[in-house]
């Protein structure tokens, strides 16, 4: 029977969630959009109200379902709901926003369990045009929250950058597999 796997793309409005999903989805992403009521912080005409959806069909018949969380804070109750049981979470940060460190802090707090389980990765966009805060400051923020998460400068308009983020997640999963194998071998040997 085909199994469904879930991958979450989280981030503020305009961080590139829809773009990232579109880069890898085999279907045109489905977006539920409404008028952007927060034009003071972002000039987009529309924003995702509930979520973006894309999918990839795997060779064994399983489905990889891609969900983009709504960016506006009033929908943040959905983040944890969507994150439950997910393969991993890709957190996208827009470094051109007023306080990207605070943005990351909120997402790390919401997905702390996922981060501790080595199932999260952070992509920070617009670093070429907005080099501050730099990556070191983002890492220091995570350290202050007793969390460690891979973070990278990316441009999600480039498919390779989206694949980089997913490849890191996959390597984290493979690392778990290898560590479990070694632990099992150790147990067997004892």
Partner 1 sequence: MDKHSYSVTTVGLNAHDETIVRSVLNLIEGSTRDKWEYTESFQADLVLCDPEAALTRIAIKQFQETGRPVCVAVLKSGQTRSTLTHFIHFPVRASEIIGVLDNAADEIEHPLGKVDSSFEESPQIHGELPVPDELQDKRTISDLLMAFARRRRDEKAAWQINLDGKCIYVFEPERTFASSIELNAQRLNDLASATKAPALRRVGGIVAKGLRKELAPRPIDELLWNLGLNQEQRALLPALANAKQIRLQRWPDFGRLGARKSHFAFAALLTRTPQALEAIPALTGQPQSEVYAFLNACALCNLLEYTTEHDTGGTDSGHMIKVQPSRWSGLVRIMRSALGMETRAA
Where along the sequence are the contacts to partner 1 (CB under 8 A)? 5, 24, 56-60, 62, 64, 118, 123, 127, 135, 139, 148, 150-154, 161, 163-164, 166-168, 170-184, 186
Task: Enumerate residues 6+ apart whose C-beta is below 8 A from 156.
Answer: 16, 19, 20, 23, 92, 123, 125, 162
Beta bridge partners of 91: 10, 122
- Please say which residue, 58 or 109, places its beta carbon nearer to partner 1: 58
Pick from 88, 60, 106, 50: which is nearest to 168 by CA? Answer: 88
- Please say which residue, 43 or 177, places its beta carbon nearer to partner 1: 177
Integer angstrom CA distances of residue 8 from 63, 90, 114, 155: 14, 6, 11, 18
- Please say which residue, 70 or 88, places its beta carbon nearer to partner 1: 88
Query: Min. distance of Cβ 15 from partner 1 in angstroms?
Result: 15
- Please say which residue, 41 or 178, places its beta carbon nearer to partner 1: 178
Query: Min. distance of Cβ 171 from partner 1 in angstroms?
Result: 4
- Please say which residue, 10 or 92, places its beta carbon nearer to partner 1: 92
Query: Min. distance of Cβ 82 from partner 1 in angstroms?
Result: 19
Burial class (CB within 10 angstroms; exposed 0-12, middle 13-18, buried 19+) of 87: middle
Query: Min. distance of Cβ 145 from partner 1 in angstroms?
Result: 14
């Amino acid at each position: 029977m085909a199994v469904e796997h879930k991958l979450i793309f989280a981030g503020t409005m305009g961080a590139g969630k829809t773009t990232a999903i579109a880069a890898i989805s085999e279907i045109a992403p489905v977006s539920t959009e409404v008028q952007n009521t927060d034009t003071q912080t972002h000039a987009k005409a529309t924003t995702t109200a509930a979520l973006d959806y894309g999918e990839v069909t795997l060779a064994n018949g399983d489905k990889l379902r891609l969900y983009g969380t709504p960016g506006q804070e009033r929908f943040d109750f959905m983040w944890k709901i969507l994150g439950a049981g997910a393969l991993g979470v890709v957190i996208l940060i827009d470094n051109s926003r007023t306080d990207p460190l605070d943005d990351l802090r909120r997402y790390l707090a919401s997905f702390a369990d996922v981060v501790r389980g080595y199932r999260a990765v952070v992509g920070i966009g617009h670093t070429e045009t907005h080099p501050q805060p730099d990556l070191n400051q983002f890492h220091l923020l995570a350290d202050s929250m007793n969390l460690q998460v891979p973070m990278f400068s990316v441009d999600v308009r480039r498919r390779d950058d989206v694949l980089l983020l997913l490849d890191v997640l996959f390597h984290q999963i493979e690392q778990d597999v290898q560590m479990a194998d070694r632990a099992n071998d150790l147990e067997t040997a004892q």
